[in-house]
Structure 1
Amino acid sequence: MKNSILIFTAFFMLFSITTNAQNHNTEKNNYVVLTKKIPQLQPILITAEELQAEDAQHFGDFQVIICGQTVTGLTDKEEMEKYIKRANKANVSLKACGFSLNKFGVDYKEIPFEMKVVENGILYNFQLQKKGYTSIEL
């Protein structure tokens, strides 16, 4: 009986690993970071640059979603300009969470035009994970 359970467990684990490996696109490495603090953009962008160099032709998409109360700081055009320039140079897409913008009363027109707004940053993050993106929340 113990052997049957052990064999079943081993086959189940093997099947799970094989299925996950089949769903992962090994041609491109895609990344998404969800952050609640604008100053974290600096180390996030450094990480993106280093991953781009490390991954070479396998580097795919890198997106950063900014959520929470920190979205009020997105209206500081001078502060955001340095992040936007570096993100553009590193092929990183910066997104603002529309839910957070609405909750904290930030006018969409006041954030830099280079930033796209996603309706719900947390949902968008999960949707990218379903597509195989490597994700981290800071």
Structure 2
Amino acid sequence: MKTYIFSSILFIITFFAQTDIQAQQIDPSKNNYVILTKKVPQLQPIILTAQALKAEEGDDFGDFKVIICGQNIGDITNPEKMKNFIEEAEQAGVEIIACGFSMNKFKVDKTKIPNKVTSVENGILYNLQLQKKGYKSLSI
């Protein structure tokens, strides 16, 4: 009886441990990136970097995400500042993401956020979750 219980517990532990490992694995043939920034003007060099990496890596280039957070988050609602960045990001395969926590804290009017900019509840948490999935991360 003890052997049966011990074997069952060992099987359950092994099953859940393997499931966790598989969930955190990523496609090793793709390079995925996430950058956390506090200033909209930094999008220009970030997008240039994404373009260079895409050209250099070819088919190995995966996702490239930029998370904007901090007290200057309101700049994303300025069409003059964002228009060119959004177009360039789209061409480069860069996803622009706004931090919902920052938008709430600094009272950003969410109706004025461009359609091409997505948002997450907590940008810092999202960044860490992506790192756990194997994304290369940089904060500037």
1:84-99 alignment runs, 5 A limit: 84-99=86-101
TM-score (norm 2): 0.81
Partner letter of residue 82 of structure 2? M
1:36-115 alignment runs, 5 A limit: 36-115=38-117
* Structure 2 residues not aligned, in runs of 5+: 1-24
* Structure 1 residues not aligned, in runs of 5+: 1-22
Q: CA separation in 1, counterparts of 2:116 and 2:36? A: 18
Q: CA separation in 1, counterparts of 2:133 and 2:45? A: 25
* Root mean square deviation of aligned Cα: 1.5
Partner letter of residue 93 of structure 2? N
Say if 1:25 and 1:132, in contact at 8 Å, map to a contact too: no
Q: What SS is found at the alignment partner of 2:72?
A: helix
Partner letter of residue 87 of structure 1? A
Partner letter of residue 49 of structure 2? T
Q: Percentage identity across aligned positions?
A: 56
Q: CA separation in 2, counterparts of 1:54 and 1:46? A: 12
Matched, 1:127 2:137: no
Aligned residue pairs: how many?
118
Q: CA separation in 2, counterparts of 1:130 and 1:67? A: 20
Q: Deviations over 1:16-59 (max 9, x none)?
A: xxxxxxx5642100000000011110000000000001110000
Moved >4 Å (runs of 4+): none
What residue in structure 2 maps to residue 14 of structure 1?
A: none
Q: Deviations over 1:71-102 (max 9, x none)?
A: 11111011100000000000100000000000
TM-score (norm 1): 0.82
What residue in structure 1 maps to residue 118 of structure 2?
A: 116
What residue in structure 1 maps to residue 10 of structure 2?
A: none
